[in-house]
Amino acid sequence: MMRILTITAIILLIGFILIQLYPVEKPAFVENNPDDLIINSEIPANIKSILKTSCYDCHSNETIYPWYSNIAPVKWLVYKDIIEGRKAANFSNWAKLSDDDKMDLLYDMAEEVQDGDMPMAVYIANHSDAKLDSIQKNEFSNWAESLADEL
Amino acid sequence: MKTLKSIQVVIAAVVVSIFFMSNQKYSETIITKISDSDSTTFTIPANIQTIIDKSCVMCHTTESKNFKGKTKLNFDKMINGSYSINKIASKLRKIDKVVMIKKNMPTKKFLKNYPDKAISDTDRKTLSEWALNENKKIKATQE
């Protein structure tokens, strides 16, 4: 009995080590982003802080990776979400967008945050400070809408 | 007997007017943005109304049960002044995107359940050309 347990544990451990070797590309961290949304716009402090804590890990080049996010199989899921998140909206490239694209994104942001679709539930589960209460949701949506209305 | 008859007439009138109103919902609507000094018009002509009524209205009006659909696009709000002019322009751009480029509207599931509400390729083109043209008109007033 003891032996079977030991062998299973060893097999699992070897498997765990082996999957670490499977190569996946990590979305790069870039420190200086001259086209960044926050750098290029005057944003109220409360909104800035929501953007940083609730959005920027997936929607900018300034992703902060928790230690467990670099270990397979978790990293496969995390990297995939970050790649998709940056593709849908990357605030590090904000100033390069046309006014039309900015507008479309801002209305999307207002709707998704208001509906609770963003930040993603799996992200909130691991980043409790990213969770937005209804006041923050309203503040954020109103800010995004009015910025889009003024463009 | 006479009162019964007049009640019938009233009911008929109400039914007819409800029918008429619901059919007229999205025809030739003009929006004026109150907060701007210049007013911008936005039109849904009858042929476009027909397409929207058939293939989109079930998910994209205030009465729709599809919560996600109506928060993303609400034709009632588009015509009653709730949407800002930029928001209308943005939604028009997106109508072209989902109808002509992605072709993901109406949704697959909807088309499976209501095959009679499918949108033809010609109607897709008509709808998208209208959307892009209205978008251009709005843009022109903003320059």
Alpha carbons B134 and A53: distance in angstroms, whole number? 38
ipTM: 0.81
Residue A111, min C-alpha distance to chain B (Å): 7
Contact residues, chain A, for B87 at CB < 8 Å? 107, 145, 148-149
Cross-chain residue pair B86–A111, CB shorter than 8 Å: no
- Residues in CB range of A109: below 8 A, 6 or more apart: A89, A118, A140, A141, A144
Are B76 and B61 contacting, i.e. CB atoms less than 8 angstroms apart?
yes
Q: How far from the centroid of its chain's Cα atoms is residue A58's Cα?
A: 2
Phi-psi region of B2 (alpha: psi -120 to 50; beta: other; left: phi over 0): alpha
Residue A3 has pLDDT above 50, yes or no: yes
Cross-chain residue pair B90–A151, CB shorter than 8 Å: no
Cross-chain residue pair B71–A148, CB shorter than 8 Å: no
The mean-pLDDT minimum among A13-17, B14-18, B78-82 falls in: B14-18
pLDDT tens-place string over residues B16-56:
444 444 444 554 444 444 334 455 677 888 888 889 988 99
Are B127 and B99 contacting, i.e. CB atoms less than 8 angstroms apart?
yes
Encode B13-42 in three state secondary structure: HHHHHHHHHHHHCCCCCCCCCCCCCCCCCC
Q: Radius of gyration (Cα) for chain A, nearest Å? A: 19
What pLDDT, on a 0 to 100 scale, did the predictor assign at position A120?
95
Alpha carbons B139 and B84: distance in angstroms, whole number? 13
Cross-chain residue pair B90–A145, CB shorter than 8 Å: no
pLDDT tens-place string over residues A132-150:
999 999 999 999 999 999 9
pLDDT tens-place string over residues A69-111:
888 898 899 999 999 999 999 999 999 999 999 999 999 999 9
Query: Considering only CA atoms, which of B104, B119, B113 is closest in space to residue B53?
Result: B119
Global pTM? 0.84
For B95-100, what is the mean pLDDT?
Answer: 96
Residue-by-residue DSSP string for B33-71 = -SSSSS-------HHHHHHHHHHTTTTSSTT-S-HHHHH
Query: Which residues of chain B approach chain A closer than 8 Å at the C-beta?
Result: 67-68, 71-72, 84-87, 89-91, 93-94
* A111 in contact with B, Cβ within 8 Å: yes
Are B141 and B40 contacting, i.e. CB atoms less than 8 angstroms apart?
yes
Residue in A closest to B83 by C-alpha? A149
Alpha carbons B10 and B100: distance in angstroms, whole number? 45
Which of B72, B84, B85 has the CB atom closest to A111's CB atom? B72
Residue in B closest to A105 by C-alpha? B90
Q: Radius of gyration (Cα) for chain B, nearest Å? A: 18
- Residues in CB range of A132: below 8 A, 6 or more apart: A50, A54, A113, A119, A140
